[in-house]
A and B are shown apart, each in its own frame.
Chain A
Amino acid sequence: MLLKELSEAVGISGKEDAVRKVILPAIKDQAQDIRIDPMGSITARKAGTGERPLRVMVAAHMDEVGLMITGFEGDGLIRFTNIGGIDERILPGLRVHIGDVNGVIIWTPIHKNTDQNAVKMTSLRIDIGAKDKDEASGKVKRGDRAAFDSRYLELDGGRMLRGKAFDDRGGCSLLIDLLQAETTYPVDVLAAFTVQEEIGLRGAQVAAQTLNPDVAFILEGTTANDLPNPMAAEDDEAEENPTCRMGGGPVLTILDTSMIVQPHILAFLRDTAEREDIPYQLKTRSAGGTDGGTIHTANAGVPTGVIALPCRYVHTPSAYLLRQDYDDALRLIKAVLNRITPDDLVR
């Protein structure tokens, strides 16, 4: 599993090169037709045994959310905006990397301000220690990307994994593992490590149009929100919808903001999990979207399913993922590739 290396690589949407550098050597000897398309996505083919004439696309996105430098103040402080969805309330007091320049997001001391209203990103600033505008603009440029400064950790003897960008380096890691498996599959696997998912599923669209698969599966990191509500009254029956739970196994999407999974594809995924005795769960909220959104409408239309890893705290410097959920998701996608036939795509 290459999750550590993948998590520590910085690849904010539109600049995924560091993630490509981790993936390419890992798949070089495992797949054929490895190519970087004009968008920057990596595509590769793992030839099947020829047993079944199916071209199965498996996609995971390389990009992560982050910040982009937009301007400089006279005192050397730096303005920025977001790339991808970020709750601006997490930003005060965070550390960021702008290339190899360290920065911090400044925060007015509590001694001087106690306002509890969230400060807009437009009013927050990055401090790299520059004394004035000239020094700041000499060190970083407008348009540079700033990534969360975070370290990868394995907690509880490797049971729990923690790091940034598990959405979707978790998926990238699964996809690498799929390609690296000693076994070949009865079908051709078309792997796509896509770019620009977080800002509109752009890389996946082009990759799907180019690969023109018969069917596609998306490997994602999705939003587990399985925390207690500390403000709920003791007898409060209105449980918050967790979307999915860590430890519940891979998460299957019914529908989200980007697509409706065709019922027979969902049924095939559920049936596969049940036959193989792999735990799974259904995503219970339609929040968020995945590369499936553009892949399922690519060319003449591609039947598409979504298999996701339940992760807490995605889009922050420290997400959590259970190793067991990862292993169960890997088993599921392998089972899917071993089992799928052209008949499964017929409604």
Chain B
Amino acid sequence: MSFDVKTHLKSLSEAHAPSGHEGAIREIVREAWSGITDSMSQDGLGSLIAIKHGTRRLDPPRKIMLAAHMDEIGMMVADIQDGFIRCRPLGGSDNRVMLAQPVLVHGRETLPGVVASKPPHLLTPAARAKYPTWGELLIDVGLPAERVIELVQVGDLVTIDVPMIDLNGGKVAGKAFDDRACLAAITCCLHELAKLHHAWDVYAVATVQEETGLLGAKTAAYTIAPDIAIALDVTFAPQPGVDADSTCEMGGGPGIGIGVNFHPKLYDKLKDTAKRLEMKLQDDVIPTNSGTDAWAIQVAREGIPSALLEVPIRNMHSPVETADIRDIERCGRLMAGFIADLEADFLTTIAWDENADLA
């Protein structure tokens, strides 16, 4: 069966797997990567590491790590009151988009529910002026209170329950595009690589617990000990309320990070590849902490030259994250082209200039 990015993204987006509970999405990624990589393993924290060996082997072998996180933001049951469930955010969930959203409560059974709202007929102007806090939000699974107690306990997970939908112009909207749009980009890259020759070994990684502190990237980078790494994450697309300087246009090609988190020569090399492929790249200025897996990978082991590629999305951390499929495909093609260009001596080409003074 031919690979379709949109179908793949839909299966990723609609999986329910918040930080620390990535089992469901890991199996989907494992399935998607199984025919196009040579072996797979998991590290101690649960990140999925797939290896695609170079088509001509180097001695010593060289390793490039591609990392996108598979966890999503979510909620966790904190309390049950008369059969209604109260939650706390797991990762950067936004209380302001919760009212009236459909959710799944992952108890002993998976229970569809909605976030309760008071009918407008009964609301005072004062009550309508503020969004409810996490403490005020209640989830209703439509079951008698005693059944809820049987099926749900404190610590169970809650996720948003929405399908991915099509918008105009090849755009799609859904949950957890942060960061599964980038997982899809890695899948695109692996499919593209199947048609190319490459010397370096590719370590494709679906990391865990990014949203709760970049933890999976840290242990995966230790496990792999890559020579270089590309982390992938979503970035802000222009929309009201987002400062123009921190955005990349949707449909304008992948974003590429510039800042202390990213190796300047690796950045240059990726730009060169984009130029060769006649592909647009959008500079994303991130002066310090990128808040992405790249931040953890860069300082793993003895330090790893790292870059960041990005898929621009709107409405980040909402149930309607919106992306342009073409950006995902381009990101995958760019990485594949870059990897195909990597030679045995690549590391010397990105060595610090002052190394010459040491010789």
* Total A-B residue contacts, Cβ distance less than 8 Å: 196
Tell me if A68 counts as interface (CB < 8 A to partner B): no
Question: Which residues between 100 and 127 of chain A lie within 8 Å of chain B, taking CB atoms?
Answer: 101-113, 116-118, 123, 125, 127
Chain A residues with CB below 8 A from B173, complex form? 95, 102, 104, 127, 129
**Contact A89:B236 (CB < 8 A) given known A287-B122, A312-B116:** no
Cα–Cα distance between A66 and B208 once the two chains are bound (Å): 40
Tell me if B153 counts as interface (CB < 8 A to partner A): no
Chain A residues with CB below 8 A from B147, complex form? 156
Closest A residue to B234 by CB, please name it: A109
Tell me if B273 counts as interface (CB < 8 A to partner A): no
Tell me if B280 counts as interface (CB < 8 A to partner A): no
Q: How large is the interface on B (under 10, 10 to 19, 20 to 34, 35 or more residues)?
A: 35 or more
Pairs of residues from A and B, 4 with the lowest C-beta to C-beta distance, nearest first: A129-B167, A108-B241, A129-B168, A93-B97
**Contact A156:B143 (CB < 8 A) given known A109-B317, A112-B242, A285-B122:** yes
Cα–Cα distance between A17 and B34 once the two chains are bound (Å): 50
**Contact A127:B119 (CB < 8 A) given known A87-B99, A227-B140, A228-B81:** no
Chain B residues with CB below 8 A from A243, complex form? 122
Q: Flag if B320 contacts A105 (CB, 8 Å).
A: yes
Give, as a whole number of angstroms, the nearest-CB distance from A255 to chain B.
14
**Which secondary structure dominates chain B's binding surface?**
loop
Tell me if A50 counts as interface (CB < 8 A to partner B): no
Cα–Cα distance between A85 and B123 once the two chains are bound (Å): 11
Q: Flag if A287 contacts B320 (CB, 8 Å).
A: no
**Contact A93:B318 (CB < 8 A) given known A85-B121, A287-B122:** yes
Tell me if B24 counts as interface (CB < 8 A to partner A): no
Q: How large is the interface on A (under 10, 10 to 19, 20 to 34, 35 or more residues)?
A: 35 or more
Q: Flag if A316 contacts B117 (CB, 8 Å).
A: yes
Cα–Cα distance between A292 and B288 once the two chains are bound (Å): 64
Q: Flag if B165 contacts A92 (CB, 8 Å).
A: no
Cα–Cα distance between A112 and B313 once the two chains are bound (Å): 14
- Interface of A toward B, CB cutoff 8 Å: 75, 77, 85-90, 92-95, 101-113, 116-118, 123, 125, 127-131, 135, 139, 149-150, 153, 155-156, 159-160, 162, 223, 225, 227-228, 230-231, 243, 285, 287-288, 312-318, 320
Q: Flag if A156 contacts B168 (CB, 8 Å).
A: no
Chain B 256-290 interface 0/1 with A at a Cβ cutoff of 8 Å (1 = within): 00000000000000000000000000000000000
Q: Flag if B322 contacts A127 (CB, 8 Å).
A: yes
Give, as a whole number of angstroms, the nearest-CB distance from A82 to chain B.
9
Give, as a whole number of angstroms, the nearest-CB distance from B6 to chain A.
13
Which of B102, B136, B240 interacts with A106 by CB under 8 Å?
B240
Q: Flag if B84 contacts A139 (CB, 8 Å).
A: no
Question: Which residues between 228 and 257 of chain B lie within 8 Å of chain A, taking CB atoms?
Answer: 236, 238-243, 251
Cα–Cα distance between A139 and B322 once the two chains are bound (Å): 18
